Structure 1
Amino acid sequence: MTQRLYIDVHVVQTVPPANLNRDDQGNPKEAVYGGVRRSRVSSQAWKRASRRHFDAQAPEHDRATRTKRITSELATRISRPTGLDREDAGRIAAALLAQLGLSQGKKAGDTAYLLFYGNAQLDAVAALVTDRVADFVALDEKALTEAVKELPVAESFRTGHPVGVALFGRMVADIPKLNVDAAVQVAHALSTHETQLEFDYFTAVDDQNEQDETGAGMIGTIGFNSATLYRYATVGFAQLTDNLGGDTEAALDALDRFVDSFALSVPTGYQNSFAHRTRPGLVAVVVRSDQPVNLVSAFEEPVAAEAGIQANSARRLAEEHITATQVWGDTPLYGAASHTFTTRDLRTKDTAETLTQAFGEPVTFADLRTTLRARIATALGEQA
């Protein structure tokens, strides 16, 4: 098995007025950290955004799906190449999945929980029966269940994982054999400074009645805030490689796609109302062989509410990394950063110099990804 390598990804990103991830009241999620209230975006929200980002760039066959309607999806894959009607395809699909022991939901045909699987994995299950559908259709329910009992349905879900499942894992509490340990941990994004919840009071005019009525056709409010966020994720390369069947090249590809998607994705909450998509001001990666290290402690004392919050946040992050390496004797295998701060701008000069001290000379994001892959490959070669 591949020896331990952890790839920490640190991102500082400023988001304008937005409601990226709402709570049960419809307002942006928050958290108290360092004694003050911060803007928060849940790890689940950004993981989904990352997954959808890299799935959008992959062929349909290589994507992952999370749904309760797996029986219906399998029936579609059975009927498509065979021409079987939906009712008979559904019977066969239900019989195949019954051997997994999935808890059934309240709605007929649904599972009790969302199941995360690869499209290729479900295609593999469908392929187990497509050559024999005529024989299976002729059987009654009991005989059909017995006929498919020996087919390797569970094995199809335990191998050939897509990038999404290999990275984020799969948890099925009542069926341990379907579990996949996640290779990625994602922290809740937190603002580096104190934030205040604000409300957008809006009105909508009825276009058909504007000549007859002076009032609004609709009145409402949307909660929002704006923030400079610290985002952190870490990838366990050994676990990722194991989830991909020991294929190192596939793991390197998956790591590259994750770094790209984690850095560039944004949750879509209220995106039509706020058009909140931005690029990070800083993306830094650190390769370690001991353990992942979240640098959120850099912001336990909130950054002051003044001009240059993003630059000050990036500098705080770099200083925290330098302190950690000095105090704890950490010796990361590799560190690099891509950022927008320069030494030509007096406001960002100190930030740029501190980032260079912490992570080396800045590189483009494309070069960051290319160099990271090369350094991981080199580290694996040295371990071997």
Structure 2
Amino acid sequence: MTDKNFVNFHILISHSPSCLNRDDMNMQKTAIFGGHRRVRISSQSLKRTMRKSEYYARHFGQPSIRTRELGKLQQKLVEALKDRYPEDVIVRAFVWISGKEGLAEKSVSDIAVAPWAVEEVAWFCDKIQSAGEAADPKILQKQIEKDSAPLRAAMASALDIALSGRMATSGLMTNIDGTMAVAHSITTHPVDSDIDWFTAVDDLVEEEKKQRLVGETEKGKSEQGSAHLNTQEFSAGVFYRHASLNIPQLQKNLGGAPREKALEIARHVLHLIATVVPTAKNQSTAPFNLADFAMVSFSDIPVSLANAFEKPVEEKGGYLAPSIEALKNYWRQVHRGYGLDERVAAFQLGGSAGEPKTFDSLPALEEWVEKGGEE
């Protein structure tokens, strides 16, 4: 059985009333799709939620440090590596990578936010120590251009860089092509938002109010007890989440890792995209919903099934069941219409027989992914 280069993830998750991702006007992010307004969760929001989750830390380790505050970052790296290298070596390595002198005083206004890996700096520190006075960034630049695998292997601990990629603009920081494409999640149906009018009550003002004399109250001198009044847009809906993972590129980004390592990562990506919830307004809406349906395909090309919902799903005792059926039906059309050579399986909460092969637990589908879709 030939290896497939892409793992495609298709997730349906129903969120209770919430406001998971907001724009610059503090309103829900939306998009027009199929001529109808859908609520949207940006790919940046989902990727950051995945990267900052406890599950990520447990299985992948600490993520990269994303910042443009290079002065503060330099101090953080010196602290992290002080038991391994002298401070002057760490600072020298950092200057080589960034291509910028005087980092402690550097203004951040003209620097883009970039992901940094501690072990990347450590790799450069090793090179500087080995070469001693002969250490030359130009020579090292040529070595990296000829073979970047050792450096990428050293950076493998910051897996989010291997997944999302990095654009470098100066110094010896390497460009890395992303391996995981993540779509903006959209609702499978049109959504009309509701408005929540809320208050924050000042306990002491309210207590004073209760102690006021009736006469003073009648004169309108009492306070209502609200220290803050505001409105917040919210809604509920079934969201389609999609991501595609390029296995060969991931292996390359990890310094030539075996396919088995990339498939292990794919298993964890599935778990993350099926379970993470953006953190906006969590304490006031508790939208901790897990995926009701997840389908994964191993294919020769990346494939999105978003057009299953170009015509909005119609409510039939809810939106979840018809969304699942619409996704399955559209997959069959694409699979057969294009003659795709795929290995496909799904997880459906509660189980469901039929095509594609369906498991009744997410861990079972995760195990199938880790085995490359083979029985």
TM-score interval for Structure 1 and Structure 2 normalised by the shorter chain: 0.7 to 0.9
Residue 147 to residue 362, structure 1, CA distance change in 2 (3 Å): closer
SS in structure 2 opposite 1:99? helix
Unaligned runs of 5+ in 1: 136-143, 343-351, 380-384
SS in structure 2 opposite 1:171? coil
Tell me the amino acid that sits aligned with residue 336 of structure 1.
A
Conserved 8 A contact 1:184-1:236 = yes
Which residue matches 1:382? none
Unaligned runs of 5+ in 2: 210-222
CA distance in 2, matches of 1:175, 1:79: 22
The TM-score with structure 1 as length reference comes to: 0.79
Conserved 8 A contact 1:82-1:130 = no
Between 122-131 and 277-286, report the one with greater CA deviation. Answer: 122-131
| Deviation of the 1:80 alpha carbon | 5.7
Which residue matches 2:337? 327
Tell me the amino acid that sits aligned with residue 56 of structure 1.
A
CA distance in 2, matches of 1:241, 1:341: 35
* Equivalent position to 1:244, from 254, 258, 271: 254
Provide Cα deviations, 1:241-298, integer angstroms capped at 9, x if missing partner: 1111121132222222211112111111111121111001101101112x11111111
CA distance in 2, matches of 1:80, 1:185: 31
Which residue matches 2:219? none
CA distance in 1, matches of 2:330, 2:127: 54
Is 1:165 equivalent to 2:161 in the alignment?
Answer: yes
Tell me the amino acid that sits aligned with residue 245 of structure 1.
G
Conserved 8 A contact 1:199-1:224 = yes
Conserved 8 A contact 2:74-2:104 = no
Residue 81 to residue 330, structure 1, CA distance change in 2 (3 Å): closer
What pairs up with 1:208-223 in 2 under 5 angstroms? 208-210=204-206, 211-212=208-209, 213-223=223-233
Which residue matches 2:41? 41
Provide Cα deviations, 1:303-335, integer angstroms capped at 9, x if missing partner: 123422011101100000111122222221x11
What pairs up with 1:142-291 in 2 under 5 angstroms? 149=137, 158-160=152-154, 161=156, 162-174=158-170, 178-210=174-206, 211-212=208-209, 213-248=223-258, 249-289=260-300, 291=301
Q: RMSD across aligned C-alpha pairs, in angstroms?
A: 3.3
CA distance in 2, matches of 1:147, 1:75: 23
Residue 114 to residue 157, structure 1, CA distance change in 2 (3 Å): farther
CA distance in 2, matches of 1:301, 1:269: 29
Between 120-129 and 239-248, report the one with greater CA deviation. Answer: 120-129
Tell me the amino acid that sits aligned with residue 349 of structure 2.
T
Count of residues paired in the alignment: 347
Which residue matches 1:112? 111
Conserved 8 A contact 1:15-1:226 = yes
The TM-score with structure 2 as length reference comes to: 0.81
Which residue matches 2:371? 374
Conserved 8 A contact 1:4-1:236 = no
CA distance in 2, matches of 1:293, 1:131: 47
Conserved 8 A contact 2:293-2:324 = yes
SS in structure 2 opposite 1:307? coil
Tell me the amino acid that sits aligned with residue 258 of structure 1.
V
SS in structure 2 opposite 1:361? strand
| Deviation of the 1:299 alpha carbon | 0.6
Residue 177 to residue 127, structure 1, CA distance change in 2 (3 Å): closer
Conserved 8 A contact 1:77-1:126 = no
Conserved 8 A contact 1:163-1:254 = no
Conserved 8 A contact 1:96-1:149 = no
